[in-house]
Structure 1
């Protein structure tokens, strides 16, 4: 690493919503050199005035952190050694293009995001400067300057891995930093790990948002668990077709089953049991309640496109996309009754098996 070992790396969090702000706060309280870069003006002002407040299950922390508006990136004089990218998957490329001039020549960008964003990062800064990541934390933010994190460090999980084998030896140093916020595993095959996370995201994020319910309630709604699992099964088919391997994530034990669908069930069960609470809203539902678009194409659309490239169909994920786009266009509302729109497709698929 080229950073000053005595001072430590110069770190930026680009995107400081619910996830980025809570992790960045942990870094600041650990004494690391951290700067927040954020696109929500009120959030930046709140952090400048009162610091970032993180409400955890049994405690509240507050950290004072320098916070910049996006427009101030052009004013940055000293480059960053590490940028943790915590923006929406669909914002990845422009965010990387924005920060690339502020990245040290051997600096790294770590994509703490849903979706297969590592390739978008690499397209901008190069594979040798890209670290892929998997993140499993439940959190929400509706008030500027305040994030509500439903997982403390003991139930927060991350995986990191380099795209370029020559960079893999640097990943452990980044992992040590991230361990200020939770458990971190360094993985050789981060691409497969990200696919496994996308599998469970396809099952949970948009389907639960479509019926406007917390994740746990959505999984208990009549017929929805079958729909959600079916979306995950199609995602696993896409992962395997794309050359990914079934690897354990989120702290699960080594894979002991050769049945892909059974492993999807195991991942989903672990998320519901360990990484969500009764009132946990998926990030997609939070987006819709804030009037923003969700990561539809980047998760369910990815499944549809990958299977299509291999001559296969993903009818459940396609239906999830169609309904989601109707909601985002204002043609229908997100509500529990939408479950029938998804169940009908699932049943038609099941009947053809």
Structure 2
């Protein structure tokens, strides 16, 4: 590896919820130099006392790892070569501003997040220090110090790509590390790959949360699959208007057809088949059940804004955003009966 320090890079996971904690644990058990940085005080204390426990489908692992609270970032004296940012999309900018003084001059922030966060990362640390990423794992966390990961390494999938083409040669070094946690593909077109993931997220995350159902149950509810796919179709149109290409992600075969809606159907079916268990709750529904806000503006809202810039509308995504904001304001309750207003015809 081309890391300056002997023994490999110094790594931070900024955000160690369900996803960040499980991936970070894999890094720790591989013998890498890892520090967790987290905003949930009880979670930090639990990790310090008992390590991080990851429950996988057929096994459990535990890793002892240094854990810092956000307020302790100012105490960090040795810079990190890699920071894996695994926080909500809406937390991207301030999180990057917080950690930027601790990032090595030749280091990277890797945005393992939903949404098109790569540009926000680059605004803070520069394009040459930004790696865009796509992540596909189903996880949940409700107890401090314990994460439940529903996809083991053989089912977990990532894509990585540098924003600065001159730095693309370094991405494979990062991919080698991330392969401790799953399959990793390196791409020269990470922006298109992230758009394809946003297409899936627009179809699944908020729509299933609005009807307060696990993803698989939401897709089976009368009329909901059509609504979810329609949200994905609009997202694909936004991606194409934004200059993205239809590319293969999450381990699917190379794209054989440029028919946008057919591709949305195929990729959504793959997510339901491989990355969804009967009890899988999308991250958005988990957020709402914890009393937190969801990534509305960064997913479905992003679709609406993108198409508006190009003089087009996104009526399904607009309805999703409208209802989601009502739920967060307390004027609407997430429940299965919302399917009718979403446009589902049972």
Alpha-carbon distance between aligned partners in 2 of 1:258 and 1:70, rounded to the nearest angstrom = 45
Unaligned runs of 5+ in 2: none
Tell which deviates more after alignment, 53-62 or 271-280: 271-280
Matches within 5 A, 1:272-291: 272-291=272-291
Query: How far apart are the structure 1 equivalents of 2:229 and 2:4?
Result: 48
* Runs of 5+ consecutive residues of structure 1 not aligned to the other structure: 348-353
The 3-state SS of whatever aligns with 2:299 is helix
Spell out the pairing of 1:150-165 with structure 2 (5 A cutoff): 150-165=150-165
Match of 1:70 in 2: 70
CA distance in 2, matches of 1:4, 1:32: 15
**Large movers: runs of 4+ above 3 Å:** none
Which residue of structure 1 lines up, in the alignment, with residue 60 of structure 2?
60
Residue pairs, 1:1-353, within 5 angstroms: 3-4=3-4, 6-343=6-343
Measure, in 2, the Cα distance between the counterparts of 1:3 and 1:233. 42
CA deviation vs aligned residue, 1:48-83 (integer Å, no higher than 9, x gap): 000000000000000000000000000000000000
Give CA deviations for 1:207-231 in whole Å, capped at 9, x if unaligned.
0000000000000000000000000
- The alpha carbon displacement at 1:6 in A equals 3.8
Partners in 2 of 1:320 and 1:180 — Cα distance?
37
Deviation at 1:258, TM superposition (A): 2.1
1:4 to partner: Cα distance: 4.2
1:149 to partner: Cα distance: 0.1
1:254-302 deviation line (CA, Å, top 9, x unaligned): 1111210000000000000011111100000000000000000000000
Q: 1:343: how far off?
A: 1.2
TM-score (norm 1): 0.97
* Residue equivalent to 1:351: none
- Write the deviation string for residues 131-175 of structure 1: whole angstroms up to 9, x where unpaired: 000000000000000000000000000000000001100000000
Cα distance, 1:341 vs. partner?
A: 0.9
2:330 & 2:237 partners in 1: Cα distance?
Answer: 32
| Shift in Å, 1:5 | 5.8
Q: Which has the higher helix share?
A: 1
Does the 8 A contact of 1:2 with 1:106 survive in 2? no
Structure 1 CA distance for aligned equivalents of residues 42 and 314 of structure 2? 40
Give the root-mean-square deviation of aligned CA atoms.
1.1
CA distance in 2, matches of 1:205, 1:163: 26
CA distance in 2, matches of 1:42, 1:4: 35
* Whole-angstrom distance in 1 between the partners of 2:158 and 2:33: 21
CA distance in 1, matches of 2:19, 2:30: 17
Write the distance in 2 (CA, Å) between the matches of 1:308 and 1:225: 25
TM-score between both structures, scaled by the size of structure 2: 0.99
